[in-house]
Amino acid sequence: MKQIIKFDLKLYFDSWFSLLAGALLFGAGLFSGLNFNFTVSEGVFLNSPYTIGVMTGFLSLSLLFLALVLGGKLLIREWDFSFAPLVFSTPLSLKKFLWGRFLSFLILVLSSFFVLYLGFGLGQYFRKGNEIQEGIFLLRYAYPFLVLGAFNGVLVCSFLFLLALSTKNKLHLVLGGLLLYIGYLIVLIFSNSPFMNSASPQAESTQLIAALIDPFGLSSYFYQSRDYTVGERNEVLVGFQGVFLINRLLVLVLSFGFIQTSFLLFTPGGRLKFSSRAQNKFKLLKEDYHSSLQTIPRPDFSLQGEFRSVYSYMKQDLVYAGKSIFLPVSVLLLLFYHGMEIYGQISGGLRIPERYASSGLVSQIILENFYLIGIFLFGFLANDMYWRSRTSGFWVLEDTTILSFTKHAGHLLAVVILILFYSGLLMLEGVFFQLAYGYPNFDWGAYGGILLFNTLPLLLFSVILILINRVFPSKYSALGVSLVTGIVLGTPLTDRWMDNPTIRFLKKFGGYWSDWNGFDVFAPFFFFRLIFGGLLVMSFWIA
Amino acid sequence: MIIDGLSLIYPNGVKAIDKMSLNISQGIFGLLGPNGAGKSSLMKTLVGLQKPSSGQVLFNNVDIIRDPDHIKRTLGYLPQEFGVLPKANAFQLLEHLAILKGIKDKSFRKLHINYLLREVNLDQHASREVYTFSGGMRQRFGLAQALLGNPQFIVVDEPTAGLDPEERNRINGILSKIGQQRIVLLSTHLVEDVYQLCAEMAILHSGKLKITGSPKELIKALEGKIWARPAASDEAEIPDFSSVMIRKNFIGGESWITVFSENRPDGFQLQKPTLEDFYFCSIKNLI
């Protein structure tokens, strides 16, 4: 077991990438320590024992993301790289291997969280102002790290451990982890958790139930300290007793249950790769076999053949995207993110009655958020699709065919279809919210704005992306240039580089929808500018 | 195909192909040589994956270095190493490559792919993702894709690597059948395969063409010059300077030494020469 832990940890701690990731985590922690404000009540300091506990609880949600990234690489490594037969043919006992793997996973996740937390603590230490108590308070940080961070770490790691070992599938692991996070936030919303904006006060019985079952322990932390005075909140640690203690012990029992279940479900063999039914799907008929022997294919290198090749490249890209982890995860996160934004705006409207779940409201939210996310999303997607053949080694087969020159157009078409797919999904989400809130007055002009101000510039950007990937000699240099280009052309930064507004054809739309005037004169002028951009980009493509 | 003065020098100065000239006509043409001899470099150059430093390659009187599309219209290529696109099954990948080779009719494409899958004994695995294939299955998939579109010039680099004897025979059978009507350039480490399949062959060493000819004729030159005797397992050198050891091998666990000599060395028995003997003599500059 010790050997497994040592080997796993060495692989991670010895790499420069881990050092870089550690620096980024520390930086993120430092930033949140310096800037993160959380007012629990008047007169309670930001670095009081109580507030640090709440913030630690908040930060501990990041454990899930840290564990997903680390677990995706570590937990099913043996099966991903066909190393399992070698490992499990050694005298190593299965139980020792599993415990070793779980502990190394836990150590890695908690170490990463510790680096983030260290940055957070230092950030608070360097912070000045009335909201901060001066001094060094190590115990105030160490205690919540243990009772919230470490316990939540054990829970998250054991849950993901179970998912990974029972499915041996990265996609299931990531989706399961994200669903846990999304499910948790949805439960918080609908249980009126004090965590959430605009929550109504909870009933005493609801508070108790939430305190007992909250897997991340925040509700029990609130419950245990609900009668604390301002003075106590500034000086006293929330005791490890009562409902808080019960909740933490329940979390430990649950985690142990996850670990034991994963031991029971685990088999060292590989994952099931194909079904017996699928095997026979393409069984050749005897008469087909004989007729094909006598037929010689006539190749077609005409324009029609080229179109067919473009379609084939696109189909391969879309099959890959549809089966890969990236598409479902990105769809889930995108819908969740926009859903939370739309929900927040509509809930905000409850106190301001003129704000209904109108088409204008939801499309405005999508317009404000989707474009920049899309620039990054499609920057990655286009790069991944373009270089997939090269990185997998399939290019030696593809590039010796006569019609392989059509690949650029094929990849472009695939990205275009995905942009339309994501745009369509977001519009459907908007429609769903309108129906769910009983406001079925659809203004398609507002939804059309998403196509005009987000989808069309993203389509134009996709052409630029393919051109960049075509010109640059390596995957990572092309990715870097793609993202920088997106930031420079798509964000307000573009104003610094380009004086002429016509050239800023990829700049994020900054106008607003009005129920009276729609997008007004912005729409036609934006469209004219896009036509100019389109002609410019197409001339580069042809050249 | 006429290869004339072909050279390939990598940026680090290594001469992968050194002024090679060779004529290849219809049938299976075997390429033998140790690792690093330049076989794969030659093949990659012929299929247009890399440009030579100098020289000319004429295929049906067209210089394919200047016009690589000319060969791509009728090329089937099985490289020594290749990857596959993840998440795509064997049928999907073959269909994709068939389209890129210009096979237009959908129903015919399906028939043609199924026929090839049957030929390489993968028809039961058509809907399985290729990246889950074993090494031997992947190799057979590679051959199927090389044969897509009925190509007239087929380049196969180690086609039987990793295959069991039955599959090796099957693949050799396919190569033999297709080699009757077109040019097949076969690179392999299995000397026996070259002997059985190829009408013509060449031996490459350090990027240079050592010798070319028909396997049977080449072997003839060694008649009466190959001698062998059992040897102690730790016996490495032959003290007799009139003969040169060409190989040491094992037969039924017993160690044997084979030497090349004009006259019979003491204790040695005359052997019927094989292509493997010729290969060793050639790369040791004995002939």
pLDDT in tens, A485-496: 998 888 888 887
Q: Give residue B178's pLDDT band: very low, low, confident or very high (50, 70, 90).
A: confident
Instruction: Write phi, then psi, for B166 (nearest 5 degrees).
Output: -65, -45
Flag whether pLDDT at A279 surpasses 50: no
Q: What is the pLDDT of residue B105?
A: 85
Which pLDDT tens digit goes with each residue over A25-43? 999 999 988 887 777 677 7
Q: 3-class DSSP state for residue A111? A: helix
DSSP 8-state code for residue B108: H
Taking an 8 Å cut-off on Cβ atoms, the answer to whether A400 and B117 are in contact is no
pLDDT at A281 over 60: no
B159 and B279 within one domain: no
Q: Is the pLDDT of residue B26 over 50?
A: yes
Whether A403 and B49 lie within 8 Å, measured CB to CB: no
- Which of the residue ranges A310-319, B123-132, B234-243 would you say has the lowest mean pLDDT? B234-243
- The answer to whether the Cβ–Cβ distance between A299 and B111 falls below 8 Å is no
> pLDDT averaged over chain B?
89
Phi-psi region of B211 (alpha: psi -120 to 50; beta: other; left: phi over 0): beta
pLDDT digit string (tens) for B225-261?
Answer: 898 888 876 665 555 555 688 888 888 888 888 888 8
Query: How much is the pLDDT for B185?
Result: 95
- Among B48, B104, B123, beta carbon nearest to A400: B48
Higher pLDDT, A94 or A321: A321
Q: What is the pLDDT of residue B46?
A: 93
Of residues B145 and A75, which shows the higher confidence score? B145
∠ CA A202-A203-A208, rounded to 5°: 95
- Hey, are the CB atoms on B132 and A274 less than 8 Å from each other? yes
Q: Do A299 and B73 touch (CB under 8 A)?
A: yes
Report d(CA A83, CA B62) in Å as an integer. 48
A282 interfaces chain B, CB cutoff of 8 Å: yes
Q: Which residues of B215-225 are buried (b: 16+ CB within 10 A; e: fewer)?
A: beebbeebeeb
Least trusted range by pLDDT, from A313-322, B17-26, B278-287: B278-287
Residues of A in contact with B47 (CB under 8 A): 400
The yes-or-no verdict on residue B158 having pLDDT over 50 is yes
* Interface contacts (A, B; CB < 8 Å): 148
- pLDDT, residue A283, reads 52
Q: Are A299 and A399 in contact (CB under 8 A)?
A: no
Residue corresponding to tokens 């510039």: A457
Report the chain B residue with the minimal C-alpha distance to residue A82. B132
- Give residue A510's pLDDT band: very low, low, confident or very high (50, 70, 90): confident
Domain identity same for B42 and B114 = yes
Nearest to A393 among B49, B83, B150 (CB): B83
Task: Answer yes or no: do A402 and B88 touch at CB < 8 A.
Answer: no
Q: Which residue in chain B is spatially nearest to A79 when comparing CA positions?
A: B132
Segment A232-248 shows an average pLDDT of 89
Amino acid occupying residue A416:
V
Q: Which of B194, B214, B234 is the last residue of a domain?
A: B214
Contacts of A308 in chain B (CB under 8 A): 99, 104
Q: What is the mean pLDDT of chain A?
A: 85
Q: What is the CATH number of the domain that holds B180?
A: 3.40.50.300
Pair B192, B231 in one domain: no
Is B63 found in the same domain as B6?
yes
Cβ contact, residue pair B111, A292, below 8 Å:
yes
* Closest CA–CA distance from residue A320 to any residue of chain B (Å): 6
State residue A278's pLDDT score: 44
Contact, B53 vs B85, CB < 8 A? no
How many Å apart are CA A238 and CA A139, to the nearest integer? Answer: 12
Query: Are residues B279 and B161 located together in one domain of the fold?
Result: no
Which residue out of A272, A397, A398 would a mutagenesis test of the B interface target, given it has the greatest number of B Cβ atoms within 10 Å? A397
With an 8 Å Cβ cutoff, are B96 and A315 in contact?
yes
Looking at residue A441, its pLDDT comes to 87
Q: Please report which confidence band the pLDDT of residue A16 belongs to, taking 50, 70 and 90 as the band edges.
A: confident
Question: Which of A299, A393, A397 minimises the CB distance to B103?
Answer: A299
Lowest-confidence pick of A295-299, A408-412, B44-48:
A295-299
pLDDT of residue A463: 96
Q: What is the pLDDT of residue A168?
A: 79
Classified as helix, coil or strand, B63 is strand
Interface contact B111-A402, CB threshold 8 A: no
DSSP B127: T
Q: Inspect the interface and report whether the beta carbons of B101 and A296 lie closer than 8 Å.
A: no
Tell me the longest C-alpha to C-alpha distance in chain B: 69
Domain end call among B214, B247, B270? B214
In the predicted structure, residue A81 carries a pLDDT above the cut 60: yes
The yes-or-no verdict on residue A296 having pLDDT over 70 is: no
Same domain, B157 and B86: yes
- Number of domains chain B is built from: 2
Buried b (16+ CB within 10 A) or exposed e, B178-193: bbeebbbbbbbebbeb
Q: Is A292 on the interface with B (CB under 8 A)?
A: yes
Mean pLDDT of A420-427: 96
Q: Poorest-confidence range of A124-128, A346-350, A371-375, B165-169?
A: A346-350
Domain that holds residue B272: 219-283
Q: What is the pLDDT of residue A435?
A: 92
Q: Are residues B12 and B76 in the same domain?
A: yes
Is 70 exceeded by the pLDDT of residue A73? yes
State whether B165 and B243 are in the same domain: no
Confidence check: pLDDT of A290 > 60: no
Mean pLDDT of A534-541: 92
Q: Percent of chain B, pLDDT > 90?
A: 47
Q: How far is it, in rounded angstroms, from Cα A510 to Cα A371?
A: 11
How does DSSP assign A30-94, residue by residue? HHHHHH-----STT--TTSHHHHHHHHHHHHTHHHHHHHHHHHHHTTHHHHTT-HHHHTTSS--H
Mean pLDDT for A359-381 is 92
Whether residues B109 and B145 fall in one domain: yes
Instruction: Kindly report the nearest CA distance between residue B3 and chain A, in angstroms.
Output: 19
Which residue carries 């993901």 as its tokens? A160
Closest CB to B104 among A284, A300, A319:
A300
Cα-Cα-Cα-Cα torsion A488, A492, A498, A501, nearest 10 degrees, comes to 130
A316 reaches B (C-beta below 8 A): yes
- Chain A closest CA to B14's CA: distance in Å? 22
Indicate the range of A120-134, B111-125, B214-228 predicted with least confidence: A120-134
Domain boundary among B214, B243, B261: B214
Q: Which residue from A minimizes the CA distance to B126? A: A282
Q: Which residue has the tokens 């990438």?
A: A17
Identify all chain B residues contacting A400, using CB atoms and an 8 Å cutoff. Answer: 47-49, 72, 75, 77
Nearest Cα of chain A lies from the Cα of B144 at a distance, in angstroms, of 12
Q: Is A81 near chain B, with CB under 8 Å?
A: no
Query: Same domain for B204 and B226?
Result: no
A313-333 mean pLDDT: 88
For residue A353, what pLDDT is reported? 46
**pLDDT given at position A357:** 84
Quick check: B159 pLDDT over 80? yes
* Percent share of chain A, pLDDT over 70: 89
- Which has the closest alpha carbon to A482: A366, A368, A369, A386? A386
* Average pLDDT of the segment spanning A420-442: 93
Residue type at B255? S
B129/A274 CB distance under 8 A? yes
Average pLDDT (A113-121) is 94
For residues B196 and B237, membership in a common domain is answered with no
Clarify whether residues B95 and B13 are in a common domain: yes
Is there a contact between A320 and B88 (Cβ–Cβ < 8 Å)? Answer: yes
